[in-house]
Chain A
C-alpha cells in the first residue's frame, strides 16, 4: 500500500515562500495530476515528494513512513523527468538496469525485469542503442521503462510530455494511461497542460501561487469549479466570464450585465445570491451556440441575436466569436455550416449550466 500524504507542507527559499502549507492525500493506486501555470509550485511539490528538495515545514508520508528526512534513494519512488535524464553513456539496456544494479540485484533478476519492462513499452528493438540514437518518443519510453523496472511504490512524472510535438504527446498520453492500468501504482503527475490533466487524472489538483485552489475529479473541476481561477484554467477554449450584479426580476434572481441584459440564474443559487452583489457570470463555450447547432436543450435557454466577429472551423465543430455585454465571448457550433464574419446569428445560452462567482473573493456561489 503506498498512499502519499502531504500535511501543511511549506517550501521556503531564504525569505521567499513558494509553497504555503499545502495538504493533499493521494490514495493507493490513484493517478493524481498537479496542474497550474508556471511558478505555481507544482514541480517544487513533486520534487519535495521525491526528496530532491528539502521541505521547510510540514510532513510528507509515503505509505506509513514519514519521509521528510529520507534521501531520494530510500523513498522507493521513481521519477520521469521532463528532460528524460537518460544516462548518455549507457545503452538503453544499461539505463533500464541501472537502478537494479545499484540495488545489487542478482544478474538474472536484472535481465528478467529489464526484459519485462522492455516488453511492456516495446523497447526490444533498440536495447543496445545509446540515448542519442533514439527519437524523442523512444527516449520518453526508455525513461518510463527505467521508472517501472524498479517496482516503486510511487511514480512521479515531471511534465514528461512537454518536449514532444503535439501528435506524439497525444500518443504518449494514451501510453501513460495504459501503463497505469497495467502497472497498478500510485502516480503523481505534474503538468501545465490542462488537457493532459483532464485526460489522465483520477483526481486533479489545481495549484496557483503555492496554494491548492481545488482538488477533485476531472468532472468536478470542469462542472463545479470552486473559483474564477479554476474556471478559467480548466477547459479549452476557456470559460467566458462577464461582470454583472445580482438583481431580482419577477421573484427570480438574475445577473444584470453591463449592457442591461438580465440573465436568469439557476434555481439552485436562489438563496445564495444577494441582490446588489457584484458577481462574475461564467459559461463555457459549450453553453453558447447558434440556434440548431447546440449541445444543450434549447428550451431552457436565453436567445441572443449577435453578429459573428470571427469563426474558427475545426471540422466537427466551429468556434464562433461574438460579443456579449461588451465582451468578446466564444461559442461552440456543432454540425457546423460555413459562417462568415459579420453575419448575424441567433445564439442560445444554456441557463442550466451557468456559473456564478462572487466578484470580490472569486469564489463560486455554489460553495
Chain B
C-alpha cells in the first residue's frame, strides 16, 4: 500500500525530469508572458495610486514613480490640509462590505442546501431545474439592468443595500449550487450512511461528516460569491443613486468630471477595492485543500 502511494506520488516528478531544459525554459517564458499580460494593468493601477498626477500625465511616460506619495489616499478621505472635503469613501466601503458579506453568507447557506439536495436526493424535475439554474447564468447581467431598474423602482428597492443584496443573491445562488453539488457528489454516500448507523440523524450526519468534508468546496464558493458582489459594477451603477447604497466600484465614477478624470484618486480607490479581496483570498486559500476526502473509502 505504502509502496503504491509512494510510486503514485513520484510519478509526476518523473515526468518533469524527463523534460528537456529548453522545454522547461519555454514553459517559463510562456508563463512569464501570460503573467505580465495579467498583472501589468493591476501593477499600473497600484503605481498610479502612489504618484502625483503630474507624473501620470507626463510625456514621455514615467514608468517608475519618481516622487512616491500617499497624498492620493489622504485626498480621497479629505485629509489633505489644503482640501476642503473628500469623497464618502468610508461609507462606500461600508456599503460594499455589508452588501457583499450579507449576499455571500445567504448565498452560501441557500446554495449549500440546494447543492446538497441536488447531489443526494432524487426528485421529479431535478435535471430540468438544474439546467434552469445554470441557464440563468447565461444571461448577461447588464441585460437585466433595465427590467430590474423598473421593478426595483416600483417596489422601492432602488438605492437600497437590500436591492443590491437580492440581485447578488440571484447571481450567486445558482453558481454556489453548481459548485457545492460537485463537492457533495465527491463525498461518498457511504459516509452519511455510516454516520446514520453510528447513531446520527440525517442532519447530524450532514453537519458532523459531510459538511466538514465539503468545507474546502464551500470556501471556494464563498470566495467566488464575495468577489462577484464586491467587484460588480454594471448593475450596481444602475440600481444605486446615492451614498445610501453606492458601492466602491460605483464610487470610482465619482472621480470623473465632465472634462477631467482624476486618475490618481481613482487608482487609490481601486487599490482600496483590491486589498480586502486579496486579503480574503489569502485567508481562504488555506482552506482550499483538495483531496481531504481521499482515504476514507476504498483502498
Pair B197/A73 contact, Cβ less than 8 Å: yes
* Cross-chain contact A84 with B297 (CB below 8 angstroms): yes
A81-B190, A88-B213, A135-B2 as given contacts; A72 in contact with B196, CB under 8 Å: yes
A72-B197 contact, Cβ under 8 Å, with A85-B188, A85-B191: yes
Contacts of B297 in A (CB 8 A): 81, 83-86, 88
The reply to whether the CB of B121 lies closer than 8 angstroms to some CB of chain A is: no
Interchain CA distance A4-B48 in the complex, whole Å = 78
A179 within 8 A of B: no
* Residues 164-205 of chain B, each 1 if its beta carbon lies under 8 Å from chain A, else 0: 000000000000000000000000101101111111110010
Asked if B213 and A132 sit within 8 Å, CB to CB, the answer is no
Q: Interface with B: A95-103, A257-265, A344-352, which one? A: A95-103
B123-131, B277-285, B288-296: which lies at the A interface?
B288-296
A103 to B195 Cα, complex, angstroms:
12
A85-B299 in contact (CB<8A) = no
A79 to B197, CA, bound (A): 7
**Does chain A have a CB within 8 A of B209?**
yes
B298 contacts chain A at the CB level, 8 A cutoff: yes
Per the bound structure, the CA–CA distance linking A88 and B298 in Å amounts to: 11
B86 close to A (CB within 8 Å): no
Given the known inter-chain contacts A88-B296, A89-B212, please indicate yes or no for A81 contacting B194, CB distance below 8 A.
yes
Q: A146: which B residues are within 8 A, CB to CB?
A: 194, 198
Set of chain A residues within 8 Å of B208, measured between Cβ atoms: 98, 102
* In contact, B198 and A150 (Cβ under 8 angstroms): yes
Could you tell me if B194 and A164 are in contact, using CB atoms closer than 8 angstroms? no
Which of the residues B190, B198, B294 comes within 8 Å of A83, measured between beta carbons? B190
Contacts A132-B294, A150-B198 given; does A102 touch B213 at CB 8 Å: no
Q: Which residues in chain A, 133-168, are within 8 Å of chain B measured between CB atoms?
A: 133-136, 139, 146, 150, 163-164
B120 to chain A, nearest CB (A): 13
Tell me if A71 is interfacial: C-beta within 8 Å of chain B: yes
Check if A50 is an interface residue, CB within 8 A of chain B. Answer: yes
How many chain A residues touch B (CB < 8 A): the figure is 33
Main secondary structure of the interface of A (DSSP, over half): loop
Interface readout for A72-114 with B: 1 if CB under 8 Å, 0 if not? 1100011101011111110000000011001100000000000
| A51 proximity list for chain B (CB < 8 A) | 196-197
Task: Report yes or no: B194 in contact with A85, Cβ–Cβ below 8 A.
Answer: yes
- Cβ A83 vs Cβ B295 within 8 A: no
Nearest CB in chain B: distance from A364 CB, A: 39
- A72 and B204 contact, Cβ closer than 8 Å, known pairs A84-B297, A88-B296: no
Report A-chain residues with C-beta under 8 Å of the C-beta of B2: 135
Scoring A88, A99, A133 by chain B CB atoms within 10 A of each residue's CB, the highest score goes to A88
CA distance A127 to B191 in the complex (A): 20
Q: Which B residues lie within 8 Å of A103 (CB)?
A: 199
| A132-B190 contact, Cβ under 8 Å, with A72-B196, A78-B197 | no
Q: Is the CB of A131 within 8 A of B200?
A: no
Docked pose: A39 CA to B108 CA in angstroms: 39
Q: Which of B1-17 contact A (CB under 8 A)?
A: 1-2
Any B CB within 8 A of the CB of A1:
no
Q: A83-B188, A88-B293 are in contact. Are A136 and B299 (CB under 8 A)?
A: yes
C-alpha spacing A33/B296, complex, angstroms: 26
Q: Give min CB distance, A291 to chain B, whole Å.
A: 46
Given known pairs A102-B204, A135-B1, A136-B1, the reply for A84 and B298 (CB within 8 Å) is yes
- B203-217 interface bits toward A, Cβ cutoff 8 Å, 1 = contact, 0 = none: 010001100110000
Given the interface pairs A81-B193, A83-B188, A89-B212, the reply to whether A99 lies near B199 with Cβ below 8 Å is yes
CB neighbours of A52 from chain B (8 A)? 193, 196-197
Question: Judging by beta carbons under 8 Å apart, are B295 and A99 in contact?
Answer: no
Identity of the chain B residue whose Cβ is nearest the Cβ of A103 in the assembled complex = B199
CA distance A142 to B194 in the complex (A): 13
Q: Which residues of A contact B (CB under 8 A)?
A: 50-52, 71-73, 77-79, 81, 83-89, 98-99, 102-103, 130-136, 139, 146, 150, 163-164
A73-B197, A73-B199, A134-B1 known; 8 other A-B pairs, CB under 8 Å?
A85-B191, A88-B297, A89-B212, A98-B195, A98-B208, A131-B295, A135-B299, A136-B299
| A–B Cβ pairs within 8 angstroms, 21 of them | A50-B197, A51-B196, A73-B200, A81-B190, A83-B188, A83-B190, A85-B191, A85-B296, A86-B295, A86-B297, A87-B194, A88-B293, A89-B292, A98-B198, A102-B198, A102-B199, A102-B204, A134-B1, A135-B1, A135-B2, A164-B299
